[in-house]
Structure 1
Amino acid sequence: MALSLFSFGNSPLHAQAASDNIVIGASLPLSGNNAAAGQEGLAVMKAYFDSVNKAGGIDGRMLQLMVLDDGYVPKKAAENAQALIDAKALTLFHCWGTSNCNAMMPVITQAGIPMVAGIAGSGLMRQQPGRLAFNIRASTDAEIDTMVRQMSSVGQGSIAVVYQNDPFGKSAQAASQAVFTKHKLQPVAEISIEPDASNVVAVTEALKKLPALNGIILLASPTATLGLITHARKNQLNTQFYNLAAQANQKVVAGLGEHTKGVVFTTLVPSPWKEGMAVVREYQHIYSTATGKQDYSYLGMEVFINARTLVEGLRKAGRNVTRESLVNAMETKGEKVYGPMTVHFKPGSHNGSSYVSLAIINKQGRFVE
């Protein structure tokens, strides 16, 4: 299996890790159904790590990013994790999606290598993180809890849950059940939707038959999300939809077209367009300088904060950082505040943030919180 290797600053490109570099391994979906997200995440990582190296690296040591494409396939993600470990990565940075993170966790545990900032709100990284997995984003439970509290506050008590018929959707459904129990509520229906949206007609008809329905929690990936909402709107189902943060992106906005009214999204990081915040200005400057683009996004903001969090841990661990000393540094580096979002780990608590907000799409196709 060939490694794609990116070196930054003045570090030369080698077929394997340079001995004095700090090697960061990442398995990303650079092809397949989630390739756009993986490519965007990679661009942000490269931009930030390059900026760190141009400023002298970590006590003079350069950051070196090794990247493998997993195509958003769990088995390949696990194989990539092992390949990166064999290539002497100090840490793994980002696994992408609940199923991929689940597949990588046994490999991570066996090798004793830290995994920082998985892009997953549920699964093994949440349930059994041990000392090695550091979750930054809020959990799926927290996202759904924010939805339910908002819906309850505006009188939307007749709520249906539509979940994707795969491990991701079923884990989110389980999270929703726990949230409803916590709030002493019961959904009026729980309906599964196929990942390819092939049963949107049946799902829409089932929703239309529910009496007094005034809110729908949709736990699905982009294809199913777009398929259901557009079909529902074309068939006069105007009930408000609430979606997970993973769908808060311009591709979904474009796919919804004229059907954006009454569509709500959770968000897990500060708005990447609020330039009054220092972290937003830094993200925008570093990303636009490196890429020449200004296509800022919630995902880009999240990857940027994740990369900053990893580098803070590396700085605290010092020049002679090891896997174990990085784990200790991450647990003891203290609290970091990014506007409304706080990231903080400690021994026995590896869920760094609980921040969740809500956003809608305005008439200009922009997210407004």
Structure 2
Amino acid sequence: MNSRPLKARLAALAASLITLALLAACEPPPPKEADTGRIGVTAGEIRIGSSLPLSGHASHLGQETLRGATAYINHVNTQGGVHGRRITLITRDDGYDPPRCVANTQMLIVEDQVFALSCYVGTPTTTKILPMLVGARIPLVGAFTGANDLRNPFQRYVVNVRPSYYQETAAAVEHIVGDLGLKRIGVFYQFDAYGFDGLKGTEFALRSYGMAPVARGSYARGTLDVEEGLTRITESDAQAVVIIGSAAPSAKFIKLAREKNPDLVFYAVSFVGAEEIARMLGPDERAKVLVSQVMPPPDLPETRGLLSGVKEYDELLRASYPGHSPTSVGLEGFINAKVLVEGLRRAGPDLTRERFIDAIEDIRDFSLGLANTLTYGPGDHRGLQRVYFTKLEEGRFVLVNDWSKPFAPSACK
């Protein structure tokens, strides 16, 4: 074999490699981690993504959360945005369906190129996207769920605003057992991650009194099939029922259970949506219904008149949605947006996702205009801690001020 062509080929290959090396030297380096953290941020815009139920049986929660958040974001944008950047909220409807929420989140991150996520609604949906937050290093601020999975173990990219379901159920059991003296407690729950979380929290709380649920009944998410669970609980001679569900099945359960035992006491966690279940039960319903809430009820004179955050929500809601009544769910969306914006402001003009999380962790005793302040820190993204208790009275929920007579008519109307 002639060596001359081989030498020529080797020389040509060497020349090609040198050329490629020179071209590579002229190419920009791959993006650094700090640059990927700037996705969703331009000179004039910050894109925020949200997947929430805007249709289906949990649509009331999604729509109210969105109205509250939008009311505050609209206000911020009219004031010039944050460091000169307007906030764009990109929303996708998941119908309270976990696979749709996962698909929506993928589109928000990959196609919509959002900077952060906010105002997700629901435990079975939100818990499914937690691994994606770590993979994308993308923050989630303020989800309408008290799920323990968002809190334990600690996750850097999850910023909680509301108290947990464990906190809600622990406070409720303390009142039901300690103040009302009721010993036979049943649990009616949605058969999914949300219901299991609330059931576990209730069981933990009862265990501290040396007790356990006398009965457990459930229903499938998205249905009104409450009868089997109803039978289990009513046959147990329960005195009170802890409800971990959404509004429609919970309302049906309460109505049917009262036909069998009019003296039953019902307690529901905040996800039920106080205003929605009150509407479904009707103004003439005399059931003994308690609902824990993680925001002060915004439609009461004693909160709207005394708390600046509730008053601000009321005013900005009317500006964006004239004629629309304030709700506890809407107030939570509003407060979620306030926390998001405060983090963006503290992060400064050179905004990245890591700087944003660092800025959130720098928040100490921050006033949201509510009855308690907000504090975060490294390793602590729990958020607010106070739980409010309300009772059904003449078609709406009012604050419980006297646990010795919780179902006596309120002095304030």
Provide the residue aligned with 2:5 in structure 1: none
Q: 1:363 aligns with which of 367, 386, 394?
A: 394
- Counterpart pick for 1:250 among 257, 264, 275: 275
1:192 match: secondary structure: strand
Higher mean C-alpha displacement, 133-142 vs 19-28: 19-28
The reply on whether 1:164 has 2:194 as its aligned counterpart is no
CA distance in 1, matches of 2:342, 2:358: 12
Report how far residue 42 of structure 1 moved: 1.8
Task: Give the CA deviation at 1:70.
Answer: 1.6
Distance 1:260 1:88, change over 3 A: farther
Q: Give the partner amino acid of 1:112.
A: R
Going from structure 1 to structure 2, the CA distance change for 1:203 and 1:89 (only over 3 Å counts) comes to closer
What residue is the counterpart of 2:151 in the other structure?
Answer: 126
Q: Map 1:1-369 to 2 at 5 A.
A: 20-86=44-110, 87-152=112-177, 153-195=179-221, 196-200=223-227, 202-211=228-237, 213-257=238-282, 258-273=284-299, 274-275=303-304, 276-337=306-367, 338-369=369-400
- Give a deviation string over 1:310-365, Cα, whole Å, max 9, x none: 11111000112111110000011222234323321111011111211110121253
TM-score, structure 2 length as denominator? 0.80
Matches of 1:115 and 1:347, distance apart in 2 = 16
Q: Counterpart of 1:271 in structure 2: which amino acid?
A: P
Structure 2 unaligned regions, length at least 5: 1-39, 401-413
How large is the RMSD of aligned CA atoms in angstroms?
Answer: 1.9
Q: Could you say what secondary structure the match of 2:276 adopts?
A: helix
Distance 1:360 1:331 in 2: 35
Counterpart-to-counterpart distance in 1, 2:50 and 2:280: 29
Is contact 2:44–2:85 with CA below 8 Å preserved after alignment?
yes
Whichever residue aligns with residue 140 of structure 1, its letter is Y
Choose 304-313 or 162-171, whichever is displaced more: 162-171
Aligned residues: 352
Amino acid at match of 2:103: E
CA contact (8 A) 1:17 1:64 kept: no
Letter in 1 for 2:259: K
For residue 184 of structure 2, what is the amino acid of its counterpart?
S
Q: In 2 relative to 1, CA 238–102 (structure 1 residues): closer, same or farther, beyond 3 Å? A: same
> Which is greater in Rg?
2
Q: Matches of 2:232 and 2:98 in 1, distance apart?
A: 32
Q: Does the 8 Å CA contact 1:361/1:368 hold for their aligned counterparts?
A: no
Cα pair distance change 1:157/1:230, threshold 3 Å: same
Distance 1:24 1:99, change over 3 A: same
Give the aligned residue type for 1:265: V
Shift of 1:124: 2.7
Counterpart amino acid of residue 311 in structure 2: R
Q: Distance in 1 between matches of 2:170 and 2:67?
A: 32
User: 1:177: how far off?
Assistant: 1.6
**Could you state the TM-score of these two structures normalised by the residue count of structure 1?**
0.90
1:17: Cα distance to partner? 7.9
Give the conservation status (yes or no) of the 8 Å contact 1:164–1:224: no
Could you tell which deviates more after superposition, 116-125 or 358-367? 358-367
Instruction: Find the residue that maps to 2:130 and give its secondary structure.
Output: helix
| CA–CA distance in structure 2, aligned partners of residues 328 and 277 of structure 1 | 29
SS at match of 2:133: helix
Work out the CA distance in 2 between the residues paired with 1:191 and 1:296: 33
> The residue matched to 2:382 in structure 1 has which SS?
coil
5+ long unaligned stretches in structure 1: 1-15
Structure 1 residue 230 displacement after superposition? 0.6
**Whole-Å Cα distance in 2 between the matches of residues 226 and 199 of structure 1?**
10
CA contact (8 A) 1:136 1:306 kept: yes
Q: Is the 8 A contact 1:114 1:327 kept in 2?
A: yes
Equivalent-residue separation in structure 1 for 2:396 and 2:149 (angstroms): 35
Is the 8 Å Cα contact of residues 94 and 119 (structure 1) preserved in structure 2?
yes
- Per-residue deviation, 1:18: 5.9
Query: 2:9 is matched with which residue?
Result: none
> For residues 153 and 143 of structure 2, what CA distance do their matches in structure 1 show?
13
- Separation in structure 2 between the aligned mates of residue 156 and residue 121 of structure 1, nearest angstrom: 25
